[in-house]
Amino acid sequence: MGLLDRMGVIVKAKVNKVLDKFEDPRETLEYSYQKQLEALQKVKRGIAEVATSKKRLELQKVKLEQSMNKLESQAREALELNREDLARLALQRKNQLAEEIEGLNQQISELQAEQDKLSAAEKRLSAKVEAFRTKKELIKAQYSAAEAQVKINEAVGGISEEMSDVGLAIQRAESKTENMKARAAALDELVDTGTLSDLTGSKDDIERELSELKQSGDVELELEKLKQEVGKR
């Protein structure tokens, strides 16, 4: 295989791959079904044409038979009038018509055989088309179901990926919340110990010192009270 041949094979492969990607098998099946219906219609038209031709010959045969009967009557009448010559001429024409009728019978027989053959072919083709239609609908239903399942799976996959991202976001939010709570607790502790001023303004330095002095005074009073109770003993 030459270089050009190999390139041609590669191009065809790539084209087929692209076509396969965009081809909808349901449309392909419908197209094939329509083509089969068209072929079936052609066979039916052929049967109708043959039947029409046969009917035309049969009508022509009827006319010839009527003419033969008329010639036979004329021959009888000529003999009754002693005109044997006219009777002979009428019979000669009758025999000619008989030959024509025999030819028509042959043609009619051939057309009947052709009609029977086409009718049999039409029945076989109709059965095949019907079988294809049933198979087509089954494949279309299966393909549609599979397509829907793929879309559902893709949607579920997309949701799973989004939920994964949401989970990470929740983890980050929880981590930040815990850090913020720890920072708030630390600041509260520093405020309580006086390391930091209470930013809410609930206690200033003077108020805190007075509170400490009050606590110290309470301790001294309680100590003196205990000393007196011990001394009495």
Find where tokens 């549609």 sit. Answer: 144
pLDDT at 153: 84
- The backbone torsions φ and ψ at residue 194, rounded to the nearest 5 degrees and listed phi first, read 85, 0
Residue 225 and residue 140 share a domain: no
Range of the domain at 115: 3-153
Q: Which residues of the chain have pLDDT under 70?
A: 1-22, 158-167, 187-214, 216-217, 219, 223, 231-233
Residue 110 and residue 29 share a domain: yes
Residue from 124, 120, 139, 119 nearest 30 by CA: 139
The tens digit of pLDDT for each residue in 153-173 reads 887 776 656 666 666 777 777
Residue 118 and residue 26 share a domain: yes
> For 160-163, which contacts have Cβ atoms below 8 Å and span 24 or more sequence positions?
none
Residue 54, in any domain of the structure: yes
Residue 123 and residue 47 share a domain: yes
pLDDT at 3: 47
CB 196 within 8 A of CB 190: yes
Residue 204 identity (one-letter amino acid): D
Residue 218 and residue 146 share a domain: no
The Cα-based distances of 83 to 73, 75, 118 in angstroms read 13, 9, 52
Residue 229 and residue 139 share a domain: no
In the chain, the number of structural domains is 2
The tens digit of pLDDT for each residue in 118-146 reads 999 999 999 999 999 999 999 989 988 88
Q: State pTM to two decimals.
A: 0.53
| Token pair recorded at residue 91 | 């019979």
Residue 135 and residue 75 share a domain: yes
| Domain edge (last residue) among 138, 153, 168 | 153
pLDDT at 228: 77
